[in-house]
Structure 1
Amino acid sequence: MLGLELSAGVDGVVEKIEKLPTDLFAETLQAILVHLQDQNKAVDLIETCNKFQRAGINLDQKAVQDVIKLLSYYFRLAAKSNLSADVLVSKLTECSSKWSKPNLQLVHQFWTEHGSLLHQEVLTMASIGQLVDIQWKLGMAVSSDTCRSLNSSFISVLMKIADTSGEVSYKSFEMTVQQFQNFYRQFKEMASVLETV
């Protein structure tokens, strides 16, 4: 319906939002707006889950991710279409009748105060994943059931990537030293091209 994949459907996600205390809902809205304004690479899913649990709201990571996805989706939609706070609230009530009046008022207030800060180019950039961090370490293969050439060095790489919903995921892989040197050269070339833009 929305072009948005939610594990519990829109009504189910809104019901979860309605369980949140007002101050926690406000913090979540603020974190999403900061992310969309590109002041933060991602909404930290683990930290948000921990905040919910400390407040006595037991939602698993998938449910918290759905909350972030739904709110991010509507904030992006409102920014791209230059919607007023009133129209944003009416869009939210169209998608689900489960919204409470206080939460809709809070969304209205946040959008009125902060919505104009979202720029089209920031939203365009936020619609793709972002590389948040990359770590690497040098290793040495000393034993293996399948490898014949031991005592060869390799590079282990761990990449931290934030997707459009703010969920942070990790990707890891290994490569030879020569592959890593080529990988490094390509990143260096990309950095020099980006400096000229």
Structure 2
Amino acid sequence: MPAAEESYGINKIVDNISRLSPDLLAEACQHILTYLQGQTRGVDSAEISDRFHRAGVRLEHEALQNIVRFLLLTFRSAGKNNLSGDDLVSRLEEGSNKWFKASLQVLHRLWSEHGASVHAQQEVQAMLSIGQLVDMQWKLGMAVSSDTCRSLNSPYVSVLMRIVEPSGHICQKSFEMTVPQFQNFHKQFKEMAAVMETV
């Protein structure tokens, strides 16, 4: 993306952020910082959107997504570089001259309070950069056609897992197992749970 287009894009996002009251901006940032500190499983844009609507702020879906993405990347980058509140504000001002002072004060205050915790969480995630299981569902079915089953009309278990990737994106993985495979899978999960209770 050319520098002029990138600058226009950032200025547009900053304009939209400036439409938010300091309290509303702080609330949205708090959602993002809570996620970056490892206290929630993801950033719920729908909840942020509902809050904006209740406060009378009307933004298109894409504009809201851009605000959330921008704040997420800003805080993630500040955590990675272990920036102070002053350094964060300086970088934001270098990126756009459209910032309102009240918005920068909110970001400075929140980053000063939570930045060290975000940085620590990112260091832990870097060491353990794997996805996190959010939800798992299974159902029993009957095979009527299959490449792997020797005989049709044999039972199988279909498993659907929802996983939060290190980026924060929630993805779904599905697979099928025979009943004996699922029983072994279940046994291993129980053994893992027993071990984790002793930690």
Cα distance change, pair 57–192 in 1 and its aligned pair in 2 (3 A): same
- Which residue in 1 is equivalent to 2:164? 162
Unaligned segments of structure 1, at least 5 residues: none
- In the TM superposition, what whole-angstrom CA distance separates every residue of 1:5-47 from its partner, at most 9, and x where no partner exists? x9x9433332332232322210111112211111222222332
1:112 is matched with 112
**Cα distance, 1:186 vs structure 2:** 6.8
- The higher relative CO (CA closer than 8 Å, separation ≥ 6) is in 1
Cα distance, 1:148 vs. partner? 10
Q: Which moved more, 1:72-81 or 1:97-106?
A: 72-81
Q: CA deviation at 1:175?
A: 0.4
**CA shift in 2, pair 1:182/1:9, >3 Å:** farther
Identical aligned pairs, as a percentage? 41
Under a length normalisation based on structure 2, what TM-score does the superposition of the two structures give?
A: 0.71
Query: When the two structures are aligned, how many residues end up with a matched partner?
Result: 189
User: Where in structure 2 are there 5+ consecutive unaligned residues?
Assistant: none
Residue 174 of structure 1 is matched in structure 2 by: 175
> Which residue of 2 is the match for residue 47 of structure 1?
47
Three-state SS of the structure 2 residue aligned to 1:40 is coil
Retained in 1: the 8 A contact 2:10–2:95? yes
Q: Which residue of 2 aligns with 1:28?
A: 28
Aligned to 2:90: 90
RMSD of equivalent CA atoms: 3.6
Match of 2:103 in 1: 103
Match of 2:132? 131
Cα 1:174–1:19 change in 2 (3 A) is same
- The residue type equivalent to 2:43 in the other structure is V
Deviations 1:144-174 (A, max 9, x none): 7x9996533332323223345544x341423
TM-score of the superposed pair, with normalisation by structure 1: 0.72
AA in 2 matched with 1:123: Q
